[in-house]
Structure 1
Amino acid sequence: MNLELQQFKAEFFKALAHPLRIRILEVLSEGSKNVNEIQSIIGSEGSAVSQQLSILRSKNVVFGSKEGTSVVYSLRDPLVKDLLQVAKQIFDNHLVGTISLLESMRISEN
């Protein structure tokens, strides 16, 4: 069981391992969107967005539902939004630590 959970986590984090996929997930954290809306918000080519959505869909991170002639994408699990927020907090903590280190180095040089 533990090995299966570790494998799931590894595959899940592989699905997140691209800056454009992270940006797409951030956009979808704000609500469901179709490809054109995502493309417009991100400022990226539709083909790139579609390719990354395909990967996220294949890893069951997002899902698409047909609405008229377009597909609207949503997060499969709303906890992904929380995960992205925690990742930002970790980044901020690292940044604060780096700034503190640089400040202490600057003070010790004077």
Structure 2
Amino acid sequence: MSVPLYQAKAELFRTLGHPARIRVLELLQDGPKPVRELLAAIDVEASNLSQQLAVLRRAGIVTSYREGPLVMYSLSTPDVADLLAAGRRILGAVLTDRDALLDELRAGGTGPAPDAATSAGSDGSRAGQSL
């Protein structure tokens, strides 16, 4: 029995949910790299990097192959780089929105008065109550 698509997507994002794995993927965007080069660029122990690479390999996000004595890693598809770029854009937009709100709070502005339809959060709580 196959898993629902949303569950497979959730597993993909869980796999990406480790800083060392994201860093590996960022480094591999420029092309295949040997393990020793990845290790030099990422501040983790060799055993930890090996574990993270194994997780990425099992998930099919990276591939590995031998080139002489070196074990090389590469992105399994260019779509991984596209996903990282989308994450950067989303993070930039989210942080920009937060910066604008923080600037408004520091300036003492109150902004437009929210109406009941737009100020309730997805959980029914009032937006900004914790501020």
Q: What is the TM-score with the length of structure 2 in the denominator?
A: 0.76
CA displacement, residues 32-63 of structure 1 (integer Å, 9 cap, x when unaligned): 01110001122332211111000000111101
Moved over 3 A (4+): none
The structure whose residues are more often helix, as a share, is 1
Shift of residue 102 of structure 1? 1.0
Q: Find the counterpart in structure 2 of residue 92 from structure 1.
A: 92
Query: What does residue range 45-56 of structure 1 map to in structure 2 within 5 Å?
Result: 45-56=45-56
Question: Number of aligned pairs?
Answer: 108
Matched residue of 2:77: which SS?
Answer: coil
Matched residue of 1:72: which SS?
Answer: strand
In structure 2, C-alpha distance between the alignment counterparts of 1:102 and 1:12, rounded to whole Å: 32
2:21 pairs with 1:21: yes
In structure 2, C-alpha distance between the alignment counterparts of 1:44 and 1:51, rounded to whole Å: 11
2:34 pairs with 1:34: yes
Shift of residue 7 of structure 1? 2.6
Identity among equivalent positions (%) equals: 42
Matched residue of 1:30: which SS?
Answer: coil
In structure 2, C-alpha distance between the alignment counterparts of 1:106 and 1:7, rounded to whole Å: 41
Gapped regions of structure 2 (runs ≥ 5): 110-131
In structure 2, C-alpha distance between the alignment counterparts of 1:55 and 1:71, rounded to whole Å: 16
Gapped regions of structure 1 (runs ≥ 5): none
Shift of residue 30 of structure 1? 1.3
